[in-house]
Structure 1
Amino acid sequence: MVLEQYIQRVEERLHLLVKKLQQVQAENALLKEEVSIQQQELQQQQQAVQGLEERLQLMKIASTAQGTTTTIAEDEAFKKEIRGKINDYIKEIDRCIALLNS
């Protein structure tokens, strides 16, 4: 009789543990889904920021072309930045030409 009661208690505890495991697994699945959604939102926001940065850069280029920059220091910094980008593009073009020639 004592052995049967012990086995019954073990079975009850086992059922409780299985139930808790299922609850934790369900919660884990929900949390994984939330993480996935958050990652997608973060990626969308990063793309939006990148698009806005590109628009800002284009606006700076347009204002420089029109001669409507606000200060000389900003104008010089922008020109320096543009020169750097142009140099990077030229280096990339040179690399492509070298690859085509080889």
Structure 2
Amino acid sequence: MVLEQYIQRVEERLQLLVKKLQLLQTENVSLKEEVKIQQQELQKQQLAIQGLEDRLQLRKIADTAQGTTLAEEDVAFKREIRGKINDYIKEIDRCIALLNG
């Protein structure tokens, strides 16, 4: 009789553990889906930020071309743009050299 009660208690505990495992597995799936959604949202926001930064950069270029930037911004920005233009020219020169050679 004692052995049967012990076995019954073990079975009950095992059933409880199985139920807890199922709940945790369900929660795990739900949390994984939530993480996936959050990662997608983060990626969308990063793309939006990059787009806004690109627009800001273009706006700065336009302002510099029109002469409507602040003096401090203008000097630093012009220096940055000149550096980029020089890099592009060097790259174009390399491409021309490869085409000619």
Equivalence for 1:13:
13
Distance of aligned partners of 1:100 and 1:24 in 2 relative to their CA distance in 1, 3 Å threshold: farther
5+ residue gaps, structure 1, are: none
Distance of aligned partners of 1:53 and 1:10 in 2 relative to their CA distance in 1, 3 Å threshold: same
5+ residue gaps, structure 2, are: none
TM (norm. structure 2) is 0.86
Equivalence for 1:74:
73
Aligned residues: 101
Using the TM superposition, give the Cα deviation of residue 54 of structure 1 relative to its aligned residue in structure 2, in angstroms. 0.4
TM (norm. structure 1) is 0.85
Distance of aligned partners of 1:21 and 1:92 in 2 relative to their CA distance in 1, 3 Å threshold: farther
AA aligned opposite 2:65: A
> Greater relative contact order: 1 or 2 (C-alpha under 8 angstroms, separation 6 or more)?
2
Equivalence for 2:38:
38
Identity of counterpart residues, as a percentage?
A: 81
